[in-house]
Amino acid sequence: MTPDVSAILTRLREALPDAMAAHRRNPGPSGQDSLLVAPESLVAVCRFLRDDPALAFDLLTNLTGVDWPDPAKAEAVAVPVEETAAPACGFLETVYHLYSTTRREGPLVLRCRTADRAENVAIPSVVAVYRSAELQEREVYDLFGIVFTGHPDLRRILMWDEFTDHPMRKDYVAPDDYEYEPTPHDEVLEKAKRHYPAAP
């Protein structure tokens, strides 16, 4: 069953009047509306959604990241239902899919945005609420560079420790030396050949 995002937001505002959350409409074929939650409200909102018996969103199945260099595109994908200020610059976003296993309802989609894409890229960890977030937050940290404050073990999970970039960022430029590729082939081999020593 698809959650009634508007009704959930009303209940959320009654229970947590200081929580900052807004309804976002999805104009695409899926029609999955979402709640955009401010970082400072994220943990409290997740805890309420999990613990309120009428909602009981007790399962986080998916947590991913999105890079939005152009904020206008983000606003076209998640259209504000209420009038809100448009983002002034690009940002990174986390997207959460929550389900209620007892009521067989979901997904309830939550979004949370960083202040920008450069210096202010922190979002609170929800591991204390949803244990399933632990490895998924590490993956988003690794590939997008979002720093999950309060995560119990925030470190790379796919790339090696010395790697300095975030491959899922839209401005990521893949290296052409591929020194980490033990057996280069096809296009990778052609790029790697540029770095091979010249034949004597």
Residue 171's domain spans which residues? Answer: 5-193
pLDDT of residue 177: 60
pLDDT band at 180 (very low <50, low <70, confident <90, very high): low
Whether 51 maps to a domain, the answer reads yes
Give the mean model confidence (pLDDT) for residues 156-174: 90
C-alpha 39/C-alpha 112 separation (Å) is 6
Taking Cα atoms as reference points, which of 153, 52, 29 lies closest to residue 102?
A: 52
The answer to whether residue 193 scores a pLDDT higher than 80 is no
Q: Specify the DSSP class assigned to residue 39.
A: G
Give the pLDDT confidence of 46-65 residue by residue, as tens digits.
Answer: 999 999 999 999 999 999 99
Cβ-proximal residues to 106 (8 Å cutoff; 6+ apart), any chain: 1, 3, 57, 59, 61, 97, 98, 99, 100
pLDDT band for position 190 (50/70/90)? confident
Contact 22, 45 (CB under 8 A): no
Band (pLDDT 50/70/90 cuts) for residue 188 is confident
Band (pLDDT 50/70/90 cuts) for residue 73 is very high
Residue 198 lies in a domain: no
The band of 194, judged by pLDDT with boundaries at 50, 70 and 90, is confident
CATH of the domain at 134: 3.30.460.80
The number of domains in the chain is 1
Q: How far is CA 196 from CA 173, 181, 182, 184, 188, in A?
A: 21, 13, 13, 12, 13
128 CB burial (10 A radius; 0-12, 13-18, 19+):
middle
Q: Is 66 part of a structural domain of the chain? A: yes
pLDDT higher than threshold 80 for residue 5: yes
Q: Which DSSP letter does residue 88 get?
A: S
Give the number of other CB atoms < 10 A from CB of residue 199: 4
- Tell me the per-residue pLDDT of 127-155, one tens digit each, with 9 for 90 and over: 999 999 999 999 999 999 999 999 999 99
| pTM of the predicted structure, to 2 decimals | 0.88
Q: Which of the two residues, 39 and 192, has the higher pLDDT score?
A: 39
Would you state the pLDDT for residue 184?
A: 67
Model pLDDT, residue 83: 85
pLDDT of 178 > 60? The answer is: no
Q: What is the mean pLDDT of the chain?
A: 92
Residue 199 lies in a domain: no
pLDDT > 70 fraction of the chain, expressed in percent and rounded? 94
pLDDT of residue 30: 84
Within a domain: residue 200? no
Q: How far is CA 15 from CA 9, 20, 59, 102, 167, in A?
A: 10, 12, 21, 21, 39
Question: Which helix H or strand E contains 118, and what residues bound it?
Answer: none
Considering the domain boundaries, does residue 74 fall inside one? yes
pLDDT value for 170:
95
16 assigned to some structural domain: yes
